[in-house]
Structure 1
Amino acid sequence: MFELDHELAQKIVDRALAILPCNVNVMDSQGLILGSGETERINTRHEGAQLVLANQRVVEIDEHSALSLKGVQPGINVPLMHDERLIGVLGLTGDPQALRTYAELLRMTAEMLVSQRHREGERQWREQRTDDLLGLLLSNTGNSQRLLEEAEQLGLKPYLTRTPVLIELSSELDVTAVCEWLFARVSDSWCLCLSTHTLLWCYPSQSMVDPSKFLQKIEKQGWPILRMAVGVPAQGIEPLRNVCRRVTALAGYGRAVKQGEKYLLLTRYRLPTMLWTHREDDAVGELLAIIDKVQSKDNNGQLIQTLRSWCEHSGQIQSCAEALGVHRNSLRYRMDRIAEITGMDLNKLEDVIELYFGIQLLPHFVTCLCE
């Protein structure tokens, strides 16, 4: 239920005083003066306003009548309505007959300002409730059918297929602005601020969005992005929640292992991310022990660089050699050396997979060891 407050009442007064030749008072539904051109009258009771509230009609007070009323000066007092409900009283000081036209203009202006404030309040409530609801839906507590029904009522369309994208920004001042920018450009988007630097954007998969292009567009707006982790489409709250969890893990993997990569796809790093989430497991330590063997014999980092490039090029000798700027025979020599050090057979898929996962996790463990 909408109620007048001091701020809005004084705004009405200030707007009216800029054009009217008399003092203006704004009273609440109890007859208390909330705003006035005569500041000493604020927070005092206005008996003329109480007459308006009691009779729900215009009350004109001449000099004689004013003498019998407390806190009242000659003038005209009119009801202030909102949604067909009496919420306050507007008072103009002076000769009632001369103020009737002004009173109607004041009422029109005041009701317009009240409507604007009400709409703004509704918008702010809706935004806050939407944020709260999205937070619940994407958490482990958001399984209630009531929440899904409320999401439908708010127009959130919880059953659409969506792709979650976690965006990390370099400035905390940009998070809300980026959310608003994305929401305005992709209809039916969900956008949730997770922290002062991080937001989660879930866009409808049918919208044909290219996140990599949006990354460029966002940065052109002057909002530098540290990292963008892109998930896969998911339909329904539970599947979407699971993908959001994996996207969060992907971003963590990027911070720890792929610091130089700004754009991370879950489809590309699905397995390394899954392994990284279990980095405390003994089996992961065994994979790193294999890589440690290479490091112990690699004084200048050449072998580690070669292994990383070899994995990135799926073991393709020619493309890997070109990327490293070496001859194919030199690359073969280095890979034979790695096989010799680790005891791995590069012709066996199982051994190649172990080397691949080990090198994918190396930066995180190097950091940990340095700490």
Structure 2
Amino acid sequence: MAQKATGKLTHTVALRVVQTIAPRIDYPLNIMDERGVIIASSDPKRLGNPHPDALKALGENRTIFTSRADSASGQQPGVNVPLYLDGTLQGVVGVTGAPNEVAPLAQLISLTVQLLLSQQEEHVRSAVRTTQISELLSSLVAGTATGDAVAVQLKKLGFAPPWSLSLFAGENLPEPDSRHATLNINQVRWVLATGPLQVPPALRAVCGAARATAEDLLVDAENLSTLSGFPTLIPRAEQSGLWNEELALATARVPEAYCRALARRTALISDEHARTLLVLASSATQAEAIDRLAIHRNTMIQRLERILQVTGSDPRVPSELLSLLNSVYSRIRLGELHIF
């Protein structure tokens, strides 16, 4: 069984066809709806009247050729061709004239109308899908969605698990991929995808892991929503190895005054020393950090001693390193450091 078409032969579509084609041909043109009523015509006086041959074409589901005029009904010679969309009968195109002359023209006009209907149907489907995607992402961003509702909508939109939710920040974002669901808010773009995303190194992004449940996706949405208010905490992909999501989230959630208080601890250390702290914290050992920084062991010792001298906190002590990191992230949030 053919699917019910979402497109429909409307007066607007029919009128556009007649206004475009009728001036270019030497034959009267009529377009009838699924009831056989004339909804567009090169003779406006015929609008709203039933067309006998169109009714016959609809009833018999075939092209009707009329060779003789009928004075009783006013019927003229011509050809009436049924219009279809996805197997659904939409109406009839009628061209008045000698059937052998106008038959090819009637078939061509019929195909033109069917193409317009297909374009209209695709436009409607695209608009509906865009609206549904926007509503889904908006509910995720706002935190008003529920796990069950998200799961149902994802299935309806054709997104199979696992899903990932990502956040992009910056002014020069790439064109959105048609395979993904996207929502732009100011200079931040939300992207919902099936599976993980690959991000160019220079883009600032936080890419969520592949999630098998809608509940996990809601957690990612809440976290990303928090980070979206502080684009400076969103790292470029090439710096993601230095970035710690828990520290970034914790920094984004503290009050402004407390953030400024935390930032003062490392206010006098350089960008280079701040980066050293981030590399140290994201490395399994000090030796690994030295390799990643491409420096000599003595240089690392000098940097750590300098940090201790300036801040009063020893980065070789885990609890003190954590305090220093909180301060560095606070400075990044405030725009004082530009590491990410």
TM-score by length of 2: 0.70
Distance in 1, Cα, partners of 2:322 & 2:197? 31
Is residue 74–residue 94 contact of structure 1 (8 Å, CA) maintained in 2? yes
Partner of 1:27: 32
Q: Does the C-alpha gap of structure 1 residues 359 and 328 become closer, same or farther in structure 2, counting only changes over 3 Å?
A: same
Mapping of residues 32-181 of structure 1, within 5 Å = 32-34=38-40, 36=41, 38=42, 41-42=43-44, 45=47, 47=49, 49=51, 52-53=54-55, 56-57=58-59, 58=64, 60=66, 63=69, 65=71, 69=74, 75-82=78-85, 87-95=90-98, 97-98=99-100, 101-102=103-104, 105-106=107-108, 109=111, 112-113=114-115, 116-117=118-119, 119-121=121-123, 123-125=125-127, 127-128=129-130, 130-132=132-134, 134-135=136-137, 138-139=140-141, 140-143=143-146, 145=148, 148-157=151-160, 160-168=161-169, 170-171=171-172, 174-175=174-175, 178-180=176-178
Deviation at 1:354, TM superposition (A): 0.7
> More displaced, 229-238 or 148-157?
148-157
Give the share of equivalent positions with the same residue, in percent: 16
Q: Does the C-alpha gap of structure 1 residues 122 and 361 become closer, same or farther in structure 2, counting only changes over 3 Å?
A: same
Mapping of residues 1-371 of structure 1, within 5 Å = 2-6=7-11, 8-9=13-14, 12-13=17-18, 22-29=27-34, 31-34=37-40, 36=41, 38=42, 41-42=43-44, 45=47, 47=49, 49=51, 52-53=54-55, 56-57=58-59, 58=64, 60=66, 63=69, 65=71, 69=74, 75-82=78-85, 87-95=90-98, 97-98=99-100, 101-102=103-104, 105-106=107-108, 109=111, 112-113=114-115, 116-117=118-119, 119-121=121-123, 123-125=125-127, 127-128=129-130, 130-132=132-134, 134-135=136-137, 138-139=140-141, 140-143=143-146, 145=148, 148-157=151-160, 160-168=161-169, 170-171=171-172, 174-175=174-175, 178-180=176-178, 183=179, 190-195=180-185, 198-205=188-195, 211-212=198-199, 215=200, 226-250=203-227, 253=230, 255-257=231-233, 261-263=236-238, 265=240, 268-280=243-255, 283-292=258-267, 295=268, 303-314=269-280, 316=286, 323=293, 328=298, 332=301, 335-365=304-334
Bigger helix share: 1
Distance in 2, Cα, partners of 1:74 & 1:196? 62
Tell me the number of residue pairs that the alignment of Structure 1 and Structure 2 aligns: 322
Q: Does the C-alpha gap of structure 1 residues 137 and 43 become closer, same or farther in structure 2, counting only changes over 3 Å?
A: farther
Q: Does the C-alpha gap of structure 1 residues 361 and 271 become closer, same or farther in structure 2, counting only changes over 3 Å?
A: same
Report the secondary structure of 1:353's partner residue: helix
Distance in 2, Cα, partners of 1:154 & 1:333? 56
Q: Does the C-alpha gap of structure 1 residues 169 and 63 become closer, same or farther in structure 2, counting only changes over 3 Å?
A: farther
Higher relative contact order (CA 8 A, sep 6+): 2
Deviation at 1:235, TM superposition (A): 2.4
Deviation at 1:4, TM superposition (A): 1.6
RMSD of aligned alpha carbons: 4.5
Amino acid at match of 1:211: Q
TM-score by length of 1: 0.65
Q: Does the C-alpha gap of structure 1 residues 120 and 318 become closer, same or farther in structure 2, counting only changes over 3 Å?
A: closer
Q: Cα deviation per residue 1:66-111 (whole Å; 9 max; x = unaligned)?
A: 8x65xx765444554556765333221224x545744773576257
Distance in 1, Cα, partners of 2:28 & 2:266? 83
Q: Cα deviation per residue 1:23-76 (whole Å; 9 max; x = unaligned)?
A: 322233563443x5x4xx35851535267349945584855628x65xx76544
Q: Cα deviation per residue 1:158-212 (whole Å; 9 max; x = unaligned)?
A: xx2333222346347x54xx322xx2xxxxxx4222337543334444xxx5624
Distance in 1, Cα, partners of 2:335 & 2:149? 48
Is residue 81–residue 94 contact of structure 2 (8 Å, CA) maintained in 1? yes
Distance in 1, Cα, partners of 2:291 & 2:81? 87
Q: Does the C-alpha gap of structure 1 residues 196 and 43 become closer, same or farther in structure 2, counting only changes over 3 Å?
A: farther
Report the secondary structure of 1:25's partner residue: strand
Is residue 138–residue 241 contact of structure 1 (8 Å, CA) maintained in 2? yes
Deviation at 1:230, TM superposition (A): 1.8
Amino acid at match of 2:93: L
Deviation at 1:359, TM superposition (A): 1.7
Q: Does the C-alpha gap of structure 1 residues 88 and 112 become closer, same or farther in structure 2, counting only changes over 3 Å?
A: closer
Deviation at 1:311, TM superposition (A): 0.5
Report the secondary structure of 2:243's partner residue: helix
Is residue 54–residue 94 contact of structure 2 (8 Å, CA) maintained in 1? no
Q: Unpaired segments of 5 or more residues in structure 1?
A: 184-189, 217-224, 296-302
Report the secondary structure of 2:30's partner residue: strand
Is residue 38–residue 48 contact of structure 2 (8 Å, CA) maintained in 1? yes
Partner of 1:187: none
